[in-house]
Amino acid sequence: MHAITIPEPGGPEALVWDEVPDPVPAEGEVLVEVAGTAVNRADVLQRQGFYNPPPGASPYPGLECSGRVAALGPGVTGWAVGDEVCALLAGGGYAERVAVPVGQLLPVPKGVDLVTAAGLPEVSATVWSNVFMLAHLRPGETLLVHGGSSGIGTMAIQLAKAVGARVVVTAGSEAKLERCRELGADLAVNYRKADFVEAVRGAYGGADVVLDIMGAKYLERNVDALAVNGRLVIIGLQGGVKAELNLGKLLAKRAAVAATTLRARPLEEKAAIVAAVREHVWPLVEAGTVRAVVDRVLPLRDAAQAHRVVEASEHVGKVLLAV
């Protein structure tokens, strides 16, 4: 089969279309013939040499995919060859075939085409596990989402609104802010022109939950933006890894700070998250309440161009790669 490999870390040109051995599904795995995958920030970091796959995972980038079941490994039940599926991966999505632990497999939601479905697993699992399973966002509360026009941001807006929460987003252009409003954001803040702390406190008294991709750069202001009993969840480090934290502010607000990654979690944890996504998110997708926001679809061979788009933040929602 063919896959996108990374012989040496580097820029987008480091992604190479190459012939590689076919994966063989192990015990409890399913072989998927890939129709689509998506570009995530983790893929960019892996290409640059900063984010190696976990032990035992595929060396190729790609943290999600869609396609058809091609073969079942030993001990797999509940799926059949030919089933249309999408999946959360630890790697390997940038390939014609990938072996997937059965607990990370999802049916393609009714009404969603096969390639578009590739843009759902990673954002759904990230948002549901962090905003709802960890931070317990409730109806009537306020969620602050940084990078509101990203794949994760566009999903977070829709899911939070679907459960009856208010949503504040930050983004860096008026066009992106307008797209966030179209998806349901109640307040959209241009971080280049306004202070999101003042905005969220002025409008709603603070945020009950903050979903943050920036890390160190935003830590102090994120804590300032929290309401009493607020929860800050850090899922990205685009603004650095080290910052000072005023514990007095946390104590005064009875607030919490958590940080998580998804890729390296044990199989049983990922399976529990995927099961929760299937139970809570998939009905909303099938009802048309929540959708994958797709910026563009490029051929898998053009992965380098897709990486350039994501690195330049030229996109709204997901950039997909079709096999």
Can you tell me the mean pLDDT for 91-98? 98
What confidence score (pLDDT) does residue 190 get? 98
pLDDT in the model for residue 184: 98
pLDDT in tens, 23-80: 999 999 999 999 999 999 999 999 999 999 999 999 999 999 999 999 999 999 999 9
CATH no. for residue 165?
3.40.50.720
Q: What pLDDT does residue 124 have?
A: 98
Is the same domain home to 151 and 247? yes
- Label the pairing between strands 318-322 and 29-38: antiparallel
- Residue ending a domain, choose from 206, 235, 259: 259
State whether residue 201 is helix, strand or coil: helix
Q: Are residues 231 and 318 in the same domain?
A: no
| Whole-number pLDDT of residue 38 | 98
Asked, for residue 98, whether it belongs to a domain, the answer is: yes
pLDDT of residue 220: 97
One domain for residues 268 and 251: no
Which whole number is the average pLDDT over 167-187?
98
Confidence label for 311 from pLDDT (cuts 50, 70 and 90): very high
Instruction: With respect to residue 47, please indicate whether it lies within any of the assigned structural domains.
Output: yes
Residue 153's pLDDT is what?
A: 98
Tell me: the pLDDT tens digits for 1-24? Answer: 999 999 999 999 999 999 999 999
Q: What percent of the chain has pLDDT over 90?
A: 100
What's the mean pLDDT when you consider all of the chain? 97
Q: What is the CATH number of the domain that holds 20?
A: 3.90.180.10
User: Is 281 a member of any domain?
Assistant: yes
pLDDT band at 202 (very low <50, low <70, confident <90, very high): very high
Burial of residue 232 (number of CB atoms within 10 Å: 0-12, 13-18, 19+)? buried
pLDDT in tens, 185-194: 999 999 999 9
Same domain, 252 and 146: yes
Across 284-299, b (16+ Cβ under 10 Å) vs e yields bbeeeebbbbbbebbe
Domain of residue 139 covers: 133-259
The per-residue pLDDT for range 270-310, each reduced to its tens digit, is: 999 999 999 999 999 999 999 999 999 999 999 999 999 99
Please check whether residue 52 lies inside any domain of the structure: yes
Q: How far is CA 16 from CA 19, 23, 308, in A?
A: 10, 18, 15
Please report the pLDDT score of residue 148 as a whole number.
Answer: 97
> Are 137 and 247 contained in the same domain?
yes
Domain boundary among 210, 241, 259: 259
- Structural domain contains residue 127: no
- Same-domain pairing of 24 and 116: yes
* pLDDT score of 286: 98
Q: For residue 192, what pLDDT is reported? A: 96
83 with 164, same domain? no
pLDDT confidence tier of residue 223, bands split at 50, 70 and 90: very high
pLDDT, tens only, 149-165? 999 999 999 999 999 99
How far is the C-alpha of 178 from the C-alpha of 316, rounded, in Å?
Answer: 11
**What is the domain count for the chain?**
2
Q: What is residue 22's predicted lDDT score, i.e. its pLDDT?
A: 96
**Which of the listed residues 259, 279, 309 is the one where a domain comes to its end?**
259
Tell me: do 99 and 48 sit in the same domain.
yes
88 and 140, same structural domain?
A: no
Burial class (CB in 10 A: 0-12, 13-18, 19+), 19: exposed
What is the model's pLDDT at position 44? 97
One domain for residues 244 and 274: no
Q: Are residues 223 and 290 in the same domain?
A: no
